[in-house]
Structure 1
C-alpha cells in the first residue's frame, strides 16, 4: 500500500536530509565520510529487503528517498510478512528483513546455522488498531476479555449479541493478518494467548484485503497496523481498547508513544546482515540513511518516531561494524 505523502517527503524533510544522505554515501570511506570527494561520490548496487507489511510503508518511503539521492542503487522492498521475510533472510536472498515483532528463537537459530550474523534495529512505534465497519453503531469500546471472546475459536458461529448483551444478533465476520505476519504473532501473544483464532476468519498477508473486507460488511471486525487505519480512516471506525487502568484509549501518536494504548502498542524493526554492512558500501549507506531519516519518514506515513537518542545509539552500532 503506497502512502500518499511519500513523493513529497523531500519538501517536508528539507535540505538537511539531502545533505545528510550525501554525506553518508561515501564510496571511498564508507557511509558517514566527511571529505568533499566522498560527499559527491555515487554508489552502485542492489539492495533486497522483505518482510512485514506493517513496516512496508516506512521501508518504501526510505527506499524512494534513498534512490533519489543514489539513483545507481536499486532498492527493492517486498512484503511477504515478518515470517516470510525471515525465511528469505535466512536463505541469503535479502540483506535486510523488516519485522513487526522481535525475531523468534528458531529464526535466530536458522540465521546462526546459515552463518549470518545480524543486527536488530528499531524504526518506530506502532499501535495495532482494531477496526469495525463505519456503519457499526454499537461497538463503542472493547475490553481485552471481549477481544478474546471475539477472536478465540469456540467451535461455534459467533454473533455480536454473544459478546455483549444488547448488541445485534448478527453473525460476525473476522479479518486478520495471515499467520506469516508479525502483526498476527503479536495479536496471538497478547490477545489469543496462543489459542486458535476463529476458524471463520479471513486471513491475508495483504492489509488491503483486510481493509476491503471490513469496509464491505457492516458486521465485520479486523485489525492491522496504525498506518493502514490512518490511510483508510474515512472508511473505517477504530475501536478504543480498555487498558490495564480501565481507561478506553484510542490509538494516536501520543497514546502509542506514551504506552497508554496498551497492550497493543509495539515497536517495529528491521534486521540487517552484518556482513552486508561490512562488505557493501551501498547497504551500509542505506542502513545509515534509514536510521537518520526514520523519525521523519515514519511519522509521515503514520507511525510514531523513537526518541532521537535511540536512533543515535543504533547509528553508532552500525558504524562499529566496520
Structure 2
C-alpha cells in the first residue's frame, strides 16, 4: 500500500483523486446508500489531515463506486482560500479557522460547520546522533525559532557551542500557524522553511545540529531516523507525545484536526453529507490508521447529532 506522504507532496497543491472516477462536477444524487450514490465532493487544505481523508476514503469508496471525493494537500491556509473562493465543499485544517477567514466567508454569505475529526501532537525532533537534547520547554523552543539562540549553548550552558539548524513548515501550513500561536507568541519564525513536510524530516535526518517540528504521524513514520524531544509543560513536567497524552491533552503541543464543511454542501450534496457521516461514524479509526489519535468519543457523538440536522426529509 502506498504511503500518503509520497503522493502529491513534491508538487505542492497537487490534487489526489480519492475514489472512483465519477462526474467532475460537485454535487451528488441518489438515495445516499452504497451503489446508488453518485456525484462528487471536493476539498483542499492541510497535508497533516490529508492522510486521514485518504484512509477514510479507502474504506468508503468500496461501497460507493460511483461517488468521488477529491482532495489536495496545499496547506491549511491555501485550503481556506479555495473554500472562501467557493471552489471546494470542504477544507482540511490543522488549526482553527482565523477571524479574518471567518469574516471573508461572512462577506460572501458562505455558512459552514466545523467538525473535529482527530487529535494530533506537533512533535519536535532532533538528529538521531544528538545525545544532549532530551527535553525542551516552550521558552527554549521560542529562543531557537526566534533566532535569539544561535547555538545549542545559548539554549543550555551545558550543551555544545554548535550552531543550530532550525527547520519549519512554511506559512501555508496550519502547523506553522499553530507553532506561531502556541510557541512563538506570534513572533516571527526564523528558520529554514519548506512547504513539504518530508523535506523537513529529511533535513533533520541529515544535519547533526538540526531541529524540526511536524505532525505526529510524520514522526511515527520516521522514528528510526530521528530523535523525539519531550516537551516541558507549565507544571515543569516533561511529556512525550503518545496516543494517551495527545488524546487527554497532557502533551503541551496537542491540537485537534478539523474538517470545515459548507452548509450548502451538507444540504444539497449527498456525497459530501454521506462521506462526512461515514467519517464521524468511523470514530477516529482511520485517523489512527494514518498515525494520528482519535478524538474522545463524546466529540464524535455530539458532531453526529449536529450532522443529523442536515438529513434530507426522506432520510429522517
Task: Name the TM-score class by shorter chain.
Answer: 0.7 to 0.9
Q: Match for residue 299 of structure 2?
A: 310
Q: Aligned partners of 1:69 and 1:40: how far apart in 2?
A: 5
Q: How does 1:1-322 map to 2 (within 5 A)?
A: 2-3=3-4, 28-30=30-32, 39=33, 41-154=35-148, 158-198=150-190, 201-262=191-252, 264-322=253-311
Q: Aligned partners of 1:3 and 1:137: how far apart in 2?
A: 31
- CA displacement, residues 167-220 of structure 1 (integer Å, 9 cap, x when unaligned): 12221111111112111111111111111212xx22122211111111111111
SS at match of 2:182: helix
> Could you tell me how far 1:2 is from its partner in structure 2?
2.7
Provide the aligned length of Structure 1 versus Structure 2: 288
> Could you tell me how far 1:257 is from its partner in structure 2?
1.4
- CA displacement, residues 54-110 of structure 1 (integer Å, 9 cap, x when unaligned): 111111111222222212122212111111100000111110101111111110111
Flag structure 2 segments of 5+ consecutive residues without an equivalent.
6-27, 312-316
Q: Which moved more, 1:80-89 or 1:110-119?
A: 110-119
* Ranges of 4+ aligned residues in structure 1 off by more than 6 Å: none
More strand by share: 2
SS at match of 1:271: strand
SS at match of 2:88: coil
TM-score by length of 2: 0.87
TM-score by length of 1: 0.85
Distance of aligned partners of 1:260 and 1:43 in 2 relative to their CA distance in 1, 3 Å threshold: same
- CA displacement, residues 94-145 of structure 1 (integer Å, 9 cap, x when unaligned): 1010111111111011111222110000011111100001111110111122
Q: Which moved more, 1:297-306 or 1:41-50?
A: 41-50
Q: Aligned partners of 2:31 and 2:69: how far apart in 1?
A: 21
Distance of aligned partners of 1:127 and 1:59 in 2 relative to their CA distance in 1, 3 Å threshold: same
RMSD value over aligned CA atoms?
A: 1.8
- CA displacement, residues 271-305 of structure 1 (integer Å, 9 cap, x when unaligned): 00110111111111111111111411111112111
Flag structure 1 segments of 5+ consecutive residues without an equivalent.
5-25, 31-38
More helix by share: 1
> Could you tell me how far 1:40 is from its partner in structure 2?
5.2
Partners of 1:58 and 1:294 within 8 A in 2 = no
Partners of 2:35 and 2:64 within 8 A in 1 = no
Q: Match for residue 25 of structure 2?
A: none
